[in-house]
Amino acid sequence: MRTGQTPGRARTTRRTAALAASAAAVLTVPALAAVPATPAAAAPGAPNPDCRTSNAIQQTMRGGVWRMCWHTTSTAGLVLEDISFQPKGEAKPISVLKSAKLAQIHVAYDNAAAEYEDLTEMTLGDYPEPLRGKDCPGGTLKKIPRVDDEADEPRHKMINGLCVTTAERGFAYHGNSGDIGEATDKKDAEQGQDLVIYTVNSAGYYHYINQWNFSDDGTITPKAGATGNLSPSDFDASDGQGWPVGKGGAKDRAVSHHHNIFWRLNFGPDGAPGRVEQYDTKHTGSKDGIPTYRTSRTRVAKEKGGDTSPKAARWWRVVSKKGKNADGHARSWELVHHNPRKYAGRPFTKYDVYFTQYKKNEQYASGNNDFGRGRPAHVGKFLNGEQLKHPIAWVNVGFHHIARDEDQTPMPVHWQGFSVAPRDVTAMSPLTPDRLRKPQYNGEPQFLGEESARR
């Protein structure tokens, strides 16, 4: 996000660069970036990502092994592909996502003075910030391309811009096995861990942390952290209110604005397109004075947008057409998402989640038509009733930023994101201790008594 021009970074330059690279931008910038081109798509069901060593990430955790390939583009920046998780005890990796990336950062000022599309217009992906060792604690820094605007001709130079590390995430669980009938009850408590992958990309005064957490229980959490500095030229309260962030209250009022962030997820559960299901939980009445609720399932067979809130307690999952867990349940991946500050100002922000039929030329939630004639402009236009043979999920999370004194300076990070959680990928949690991986603890607990429990 920026208002006016940032010194040394003319908007026109960035725009031109974006369009020049447009043919390649959708997928990769191999010639300039000196990073390997995206390999051909792996055969359906192929367990291991077919990427070169330098572009592969593999991390063994207590609950399993995460594998994926990565590259960067001028627009979305970091793109993750062929993401698989091999839960502990599984013989082979389980494919989750064919690709995953940011799909837009749309920033609109309340006074209508500025509206930005940071991916497609500002080529956010061209401007990763160099990271130092301490910016990537305990991890490994990888080289990615950055456009050098100071050069006579815009060109890429390689910087340490991608961090791959691990981090504690607090309790994975805490329980007592006596509750499920273990003869000698035992406290089970463990701390969880994440594989954490991120870049920091600048869009003028703002820096965005583009981060992906892969947890040891199989959960994926994409999130974007906005930091940097408030726009120096937007302290005029021209939205009619603003927020006083200087001394007193008469002036220095920062104009409020929205950050609407989209992600694009190309699911490939067990290596093939999945099917989409929607779940709604509704208050149905009461029994003995206590409210009753009922959850229903709807198959989403055609392109559809939907909302998580406030009326419906609604969520979606992408179900594998091929794979089942050891309990015979179809594997699936659930969107854990809500959009509490939804922006109503543009058609592409209408829904919290969109499921659209895969099309190669539908890559950005807005500004999609910047990359070729005839391309639909935004995700709202992608919705035209087609059968969902290969669903793409678009996740929209809004944030209305009303500045505060503490936003100066630099501004503390504000996060927006969601999760993709495993649902029935394995018969029990991949973090379940080995001694509890027994039939009597799977399903309704069987209280067998001490003798039989020892068998």
The binding site for Cu ion (CB under 5 A) comprises: 401
Cα distance between residue 289 and residue 219, in whole Å: 38
Burial of 207-235, coded b for 16+ CB within 10 Å and e otherwise, reads bbbbbbbbbbbbbbbbbbbbbbebbeebb
Nearest distance from residue 107's CB to Cu ion, in Å? 7
Nearest to 323 by CA among 220, 422, 253, 188: 422
Q: Toward Cu ion, which CB reaches closer, 386 or 405?
A: 405
Nearest-approach distance from CB 226 to Cu ion, in angstroms = 6
Closest CA to 434 of 231, 182, 165: 182
Q: How far is the CB of 105 from Cu ion (least distance, A)?
A: 11
- 20's CB contacts (< 8 A; 6+ apart) are none
**What is the distance between the alpha carbons of residues 401 and 172, in angstroms, rounded to a whole number?**
32
Residue closer to Cu ion (CB basis): 2 or 101? 2
DSSP codes, 237-270: -TTS--EE-SSSSSS-EEPPEEEEEEEEEEE-GG
Closer by beta carbon to Cu ion, 71 or else 257: 257
Min separation Cβ 300 and Cu ion, Å: 33
Question: For residue 36, what is the DSSP state?
Answer: P
Considering the complex, state which of residue 337 and residue 401 has its C-beta at the smaller distance from Cu ion. 401
Q: What are the CA-CA distances from residue 145 to residues 32, 225, 256 (Å)?
A: 8, 21, 33
Give the nearer residue to Cu ion in terms of CB position, either 375 or 401.
401
- In the complex, the smallest distance separating the C-beta of residue 51 from Cu ion, rounded to whole angstroms, is 35
Q: Smallest distance, Å, CB 397 to Cu ion? A: 14
Spatial distance between the Cα atoms of 151 and 375, rounded to a whole number of angstroms: 32
- Shortest spacing between CB 404 and Cu ion, in angstroms: 11
Cβ nearer to Cu ion, comparing 142 with 401: 401
314 vs 401, beta carbon nearer Cu ion: 401
CB of 355 to Cu ion, least distance (A): 29
- Pick 70 or 109: Cβ nearer Cu ion: 109
DSSP 3-state of 13: helix
Q: Based on CB atoms, which residue is closest to Cu ion, 202 or 356?
A: 202
Beta-carbon count within 10 A of 133 CB: 11
Count CB atoms within 10 A of the CB of residue 72: 27
What's the closest the beta carbon of residue 403 comes to Cu ion, in angstroms? 7
Its sign, for the CA torsion 51, 55, 61, 63, is negative
Query: For Cu ion, which is the closer residue by CB, 312 or 413?
Result: 413
Helices (H), 129-243: none
Are the beta carbons of 366 and 346 closer than 8 angstroms? yes
DSSP-derived 3-state class of residue 452: helix
Rounded least distance, CB 346 to Cu ion, Å? 17
**Residue number, nearest CB to Cu ion:** 401
